[in-house]
Amino acid sequence: MYNRVALIGLGLIAGSMSLAMRRAGVAGEITGYARSQATRDTAREIGLVDRVCDTATEAVKDADLIVLAVPVGAMGPVMAEIAPALKPGAVVTDVGSVKKSVLDAVMPHIPEGAHFIGTHPMAGTEHSGPRSGFAELFDNRWCLIVPPEGANEGEVKKLEDFWSALGANIERMDPEHHDIVCAVVSHVPHLIAYTMVGVADDLRRVTDQEVIKFSAAGFRDFTRIAASDPTMWRDVFLTNKEAALEILGRFTEELFALQRAIRTGDGDTLHDYFTRTRAIRRGII
């Protein structure tokens, strides 16, 4: 499908893409680059891509598709670095968890004749790094396609076919809508999970050992995602500020309403709330 694919960043998402591309046979040669020497060494050792390069510009040279799979805050600087090395007609995409700020950061650097199309595979685990990827990560998961205004329809369609070949289901979205959807289904839930771990850690009357020992009572399921990479999540909140604050405001309102119901012994409010939200949750497989 693409003769040469370059992966910039060699972590969970890029690694899984490389393995899924090989499984689907949709790429000729796969090159890769990551900023840290240790990551490049590991990627070489485990043969994560066909060729690990020591610079980003070397990795993108002659590539037909370039995937930016670095933390969201690094997308703009990486794009600026590789822009002069892109071949005419190259397609650049990103896999970042935030879309509006990524488009704003990369679009000014896209050279004449090259294309940029944003994507976001809605798939992940709490693990990161070059050893964490697996070929099945995208199977039956959504991949949101976020083309900038005026994008080349043929290239967008080809990139959608590529993600389908990696196992994903496709839906197009505009960047603002993407960011509010992801704030509610992913970003704020991660923040709340991190917070719950912080609350447990801060308590003096419950020890860390007790939290670990009795975590199956809800804590373990609820906070699994709080083991995720801190750099990635710092960048998500710095770049999706508006949408995250909107959802966080709604969350705080609901929490205060429940807090009041508990304080005043308002069982009907609690019961109605749990009944309504349980029905919604049961609709999610």
**Residue numbers of the site for ligand NAD (CB under 6 A)?**
8-14, 34-36, 39, 69-72, 74, 78, 95-97, 120-121, 124, 128-129, 229, 232
Nearest residue (CB) to ligand NAD, 231 versus 269: 231
- The number of helix segments (H) and strand segments (E) in the chain equals 13, 8
Q: How far is the CB of 239 from ligand NAD (least distance, A)?
A: 9
State the DSSP string of 145-185: EEPPTT--HHHHHHHHHHHHHTT-EEEE--HHHHHHHHIII
Q: Report yes or no: 56 and 78 within 8 Å, Cβ to Cβ.
A: yes
Q: 3-class SS at 2? A: strand
Q: How far is the CB of 169 from ligand NAD (least distance, A)?
A: 15
Helix (H) or strand (E) holding 93: strand 91-94
Nearest residue (CB) to ligand NAD, 164 versus 269: 164
Q: How far is the CB of 199 from ligand NAD (least distance, A)?
A: 23
Nearest residue (CB) to ligand NAD, 37 versus 264: 37
Q: How far is the CB of 185 from ligand NAD (least distance, A)?
A: 12
Q: Is 39 exposed, middle or buried (0-12, 13-18, 19+ CB in 10 A)?
A: buried
Nearest residue (CB) to ligand NAD, 87 versus 141: 141
Amino acid at 220: R
Q: How far is the CB of 57 from ligand NAD (least distance, A)?
A: 12
Nearest residue (CB) to ligand NAD, 71 versus 148: 71
Q: How far is the CB of 36 from ligand NAD (least distance, A)?
A: 5
Look up residue 106 and give its two tokens. Answer: 């990369």
First to last CA, the chain: 33
State the DSSP string of 8-63: ES-SHHHHHHHHHHHHHT-EEEEEEE-SSHHHHHHHHHHT-SSEE-SSHHHHHTT-
Nearest residue (CB) to ligand NAD, 131 versus 177: 131
Task: Estimate the crossing angle of helix 241-264 against helix 175-182, to 10 degrees.
Answer: 30
Nearest residue (CB) to ligand NAD, 38 versus 271: 38
Nearest residue (CB) to ligand NAD, 122 versus 261: 122
Q: How far is the CB of 129 from ligand NAD (least distance, A)?
A: 5
Look up residue 162 and give its two tokens. Answer: 């590529």
Backbone phi, psi, residue 16, to 5°: -65, -35
Q: How far is the CB of 213 from ligand NAD (least distance, A)?
A: 28
Residue 187: closest CA among 274, 140, 122: 122
